[in-house]
């Protein structure tokens, strides 16, 4: 019974471990969706009192995986990964679940509004962007297209000061 | 016994082969990969690339090939089409059917050629706005229907037009739209409402594809190659809604009749995306049957639960559980279950193993379980 309890506690604790991950949810036309996921989200989030701040949170474009190797290659190429290998979120300031920041993709910077919540040692931030605002052209491959609107969810551990 | 095997073969065969479990790869609608929005039949160019780069294992391709080259070889006869308006496809499927395996008295083995189809597609306009599909092929005919049904037949022939990206209209010979179009036409969920291998019908199909809804309305006049008294005429409606972005739940209703019987079928279903290619398919439904002289009036009930688990690219582990009650006012019912393995070693090749255990439950009689397994080979060019 003790072993079982220990196992249950161990499994339970896994859900509150610190992790770094970004998930992009992308709709397909005519229908369907896929996710581009990277576990290589880097950066520091600082909690000061009730407010949060972060600067230079980065992810390598070529660390994004979509579940199809060919689609990975198309995604990286589409996002100009050779010329602009990273997406960067800078100057993030947040309070009471809402934050603002500047996102740079494909060498173009745009302000973004972010909603966040605390989950154990992590902060879970969500925001939506339009690919066209970052100079990314409309995507279509053999009749199947990709939506302009992309929802992102970033999970990063934070440090309290 | 020979006759029984042929009947089984008839049940196992499948006209247009749809793989609804690929919702596990994020494809909620069949229209991404098929010309027919309800699935099955010829793959479109995107579907062929998905088949090559996602569904099939890449292990047998030359190591120097990248995924772009794999995709580029997914066309007919390994070629990349040089024009946009015409496509051809060839399909072969056969299997070894083994009944009562291991029994010294009653084991039966037989290789059956199930399908040999030639398909031609013409398409024009942006995103294949106009399509014309013809699918002609071989289908084994059970002994009791020899001479009455042709072994070579048109499986599909229809014209389609997308009025806009959301709305399409299709007219011709197609599968009836009803429930989850699982690959096993032996499934009770396909047998009871009569949406099996040779149940295609001439009709008009309206298709709506919204952001979170997909709907089909199918009016049909029966298969016009059949005698008029046999043609099942009627209509069906199927609606699906996307749930939690990646799953689908839906419901279907179909009414059809000929001179000898009238069927009212209704079902609800779910297609759940377990991610990474794994999926669950479920359907429950009933079929009310009224016969001309009232001698076989009854309501049938069925349930289906299929699980597909994908440990790695090209490999799927299956489990199948089915329930069937021939008459809901009686106590007898049947349960069929079994595991399976589906392997796509390379694009154009599918190898599949399915085992089935069938057990009938009755308060009055007892019967022995029956076992059988299938070893399928599917090749497409």
Residue in chain B nearest A72 by alpha carbon: B67
Cα of first residue to Cα of last residue in chain B, in angstroms, is 34
Q: How far apart are CA B289 and CA B109, in angstroms?
A: 35
Instruction: Specify the range with the lowest mean pLDDT, choosing from A3-7, B188-192, B287-291.
Output: A3-7
Q: Quick one: CA torsion of B160, B162, B166, B167, rounded to 10 degrees?
A: -60
Most B CBs within 10 Å, among A142, A145, A153, to test the B interface: A142
Q: What gap in Å lies between CA B317 and CA A52, rounded to an integer?
A: 46
Rounded to an integer, what distance in angstroms lies between the CA atom of residue A100 and that of residue B316? 44
Looking at beta carbons, which residues of chain A come within 8 Å of B66?
73
Instruction: Summarize pLDDT for B295-308 with one digit per residue, the tens.
Output: 899 999 999 999 99
Residue A30 has a pLDDT of 82
pLDDT reported for residue A2: 60
Residue A15 inside a domain? The answer is no
What is the pLDDT averaged over residues B265-271?
98
Asked if B158 and B121 count as a contact pair (C-beta separation under 8 A), the reply is no
Q: How far apart are the C-alpha atoms of A32 and B247, rounded to whole Å?
A: 10
Smallest CA–CA distance, residue B85 to chain A, in Å, is 13
* Intervals of chain A under pLDDT 50: 11-15
Can you give the pLDDT at residue A29? Answer: 84
pTM equals: 0.87
User: Which residues of chain B make contact with A144, given a CB cutoff of 8 A?
Assistant: 32, 46
Residues of B in contact with A67 (CB under 8 A): 25-26, 54, 276-277
Mark which residues 107-136 of A lie under 8 Å from B by CB: none
Q: What is the DSSP string of A7-40?
A: HHHHHHHHTTS---EEEEEEEEESS-EEEEEES-
B chain contacts of residue A68, beta-carbon cutoff 8 Å: 50, 53-54, 67
Q: Does A33 touch chain B (CB under 8 A)?
A: yes
CA distance B334 to B323: 6
Q: What is the mean pLDDT of chain B?
A: 90
- Nearest by CB to B45, from A34, A71, A142: name it: A142
**Collapsed DSSP state (helix, strand, coil) of residue A2:** helix
Put simply, the answer to whether B49 touches A70 (Cβ < 8 Å) is yes
Apex CA B138: angle with CA B317 and CA B197, to 5°?
55
SS3 at position B209:
strand
SS3 B166: coil
The whole-number pLDDT of residue A7 equals: 53
Interface test with A, best of B67, B123, B160 (most A CBs within 10 A): B67
**Cα(B133)–Cα(A18) distance, integer angstroms:** 53
Contact B20, B270 (CB under 8 A): no
Is residue B169 predicted with pLDDT exceeding 50? yes
Q: Do B32 and A31 touch (CB under 8 A)?
A: yes
Indicate yes or no: CB of B49 within 8 angstroms of CB of A25. Answer: no
- Evaluate whether residue A55 is within a structural domain: yes
- Decide if A7 is inside a domain: no
Sign, CA dihedral A89-A91-A95-A100, equals negative
CA distance B59 to chain A (A): 13
> How far off is chain B from A68, nearest CA to CA, in Å?
6
Size of interface A-B (CB pairs under 8 A): 65
Mean pLDDT within B76-82: 84
pLDDT tens for B7-47 read: 444 444 444 456 888 899 988 899 989 999 999 889 999 99
The count of domains in chain A is: 1
Query: What pLDDT, on the 0 to 100 scale, is given for residue B77?
Result: 82
**Domain assignment of residue A1, yes or no:** no
Dihedral Cα B292, B296, B297, B301, nearest 10 deg: -130
Domains within chain B, CATH numbers bracketed: 2-380 (2.40.160.10)
**Residue burial A107-133, b: 16+ Cβ < 10 Å; e: rest:** eeeeebebebeeeeebbebebebebee
Mean pLDDT of B264-284: 96
Looking at residue B9, its pLDDT comes to 45
Pick from B71, B85, B129, B164 the residue to mutate for testing the A interface (most A CBs within 10 Å).
Answer: B71
pLDDT digits (tens, 9 = 90+) for B217-264: 999 999 999 999 999 999 999 999 999 989 999 999 999 999 999 999
- pLDDT digits 0-9 by tens, B307-360: 999 999 999 999 999 999 999 999 999 999 999 999 999 989 999 999 999 999
Residue A48 covered by a domain: yes
CATH number for the domain harbouring residue A81: 2.40.128.110
Domain for residue A9, yes or no? no
- The answer to whether B16 and B175 have CB atoms below 8 angstroms apart is yes
pLDDT per residue as tens digits for the range B57-67: 988 888 888 88
Largest CA distance in chain B: 68
Nearest CA to A42 out of A24, A25, A15, A60 is that of A60
Q: Which domain holds residue A129?
A: 20-160
Give the minimum alpha-carbon distance from B37 to chain A in angstroms, rounded to a whole number: 10
- C-alpha to C-alpha distance for B151 and B166, rounded to whole angstroms: 37
Shortest distance, CA A28 to any CA of chain B (angstroms):
9
């Amino acid at each position: 019974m003790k072993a079982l309890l220990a196992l249950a506690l161990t499994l339970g604790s896994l859900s509150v471990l610190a992790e770094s991950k970004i998930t992009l949810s992308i709709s397909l036309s005519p229908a369907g969706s896929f996710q581009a996921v990277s576990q290589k989200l880097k950066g520091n989030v600082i909690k000061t009192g009730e407010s949060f701040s972060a600067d230079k949170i980065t992810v390598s474009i070529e660390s994004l995986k979509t579940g199809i190797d060919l689609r990975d290659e198309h995604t990286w190429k589409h996002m100009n990964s050779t010329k602009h290998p990273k997406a960067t979120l800078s100057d993030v300031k947040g309070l009471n679940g809402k934050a603002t920041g500047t996102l740079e993709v494909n060498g173009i910077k745009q302000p973004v509004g972010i909603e966040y919540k605390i989950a154990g040692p992590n902060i879970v931030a969500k925001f939506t962007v339009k690919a066209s605002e970052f100079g990314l052209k409309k995507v279509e491959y053999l009749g199947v297209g990709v939506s302009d609107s992309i929802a992102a969810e970033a999970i990063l551990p934070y440090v309290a000061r | 016994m020979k006759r029984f095997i042929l009947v089984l073969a008839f049940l196992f065969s499948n006209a247009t082969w749809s793989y609804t479990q690929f919702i596990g790869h994020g494809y909620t609608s069949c229209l991404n990969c098929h010309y027919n929005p309800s699935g099955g039949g010829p793959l479109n160019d995107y579907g062929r690339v998905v088949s090559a780069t996602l569904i099939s294992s890449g292990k047998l391709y030359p190591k120097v090939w990248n995924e772009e080259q794999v995709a580029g070889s997914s066309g007919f006869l390994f070629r990349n089409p040089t024009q946009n308006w015409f496509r051809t496809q060839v399909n072969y499927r056969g299997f070894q059917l083994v009944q009562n395996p291991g029994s010294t008295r009653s084991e039966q083995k037989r290789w059956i050629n199930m399908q040999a189809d030639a398909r031609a597609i013409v398409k024009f306009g942006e995103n294949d706005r106009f399509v014309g599909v013809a699918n002609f092929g071989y289908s084994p005919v059970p002994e009791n229907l020899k001479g009455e049904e042709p072994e070579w037949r048109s499986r599909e022939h229809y014209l389609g037009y997308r009025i806009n990206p959301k709305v399409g209209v299709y007219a011709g010979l197609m599968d009836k739209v009803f429930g989850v179009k699982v690959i096993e036409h032996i499934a009770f969920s396909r047998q009871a409402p009569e949406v099996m291998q040779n149940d295609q019908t001439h009709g008009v199909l309206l298709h709506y594809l919204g952001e979170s809804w997909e709907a089909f309305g199918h009016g049909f006049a029966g298969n016009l190659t059949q005698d008029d008294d046999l043609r099942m005429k009627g209509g069906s409606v199927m609606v699906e809604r996307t749930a939690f972005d990646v799953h689908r739940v839906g419901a279907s209703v179909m009414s059809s009749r000929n001179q000898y019987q009238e069927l009212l079928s209704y079902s609800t279903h779910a297609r759940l995306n377990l991610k990474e290619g794994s999926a669950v398919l479920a359907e429950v439904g009933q079929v009310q049957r009224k016969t001309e002289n009232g001698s076989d009036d009854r309501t049938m009930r069925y349930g289906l639960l299929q699980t597909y688990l994908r440990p790695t690219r090209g490999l799927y582990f299956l489990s199948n559980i089915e329930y069937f009650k021939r008459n809901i006012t009686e106590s007898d019912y049947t349960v069929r279950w079994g595991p399976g393995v589906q392997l796509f070693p390379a694009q154009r090749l599918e190898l599949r193993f399915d085992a089935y255990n069938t057990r009938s439950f009755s308060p009055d009689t007892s019967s022995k379980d029956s076992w059988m397994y299938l070893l399928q080979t599917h090749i497409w060019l």
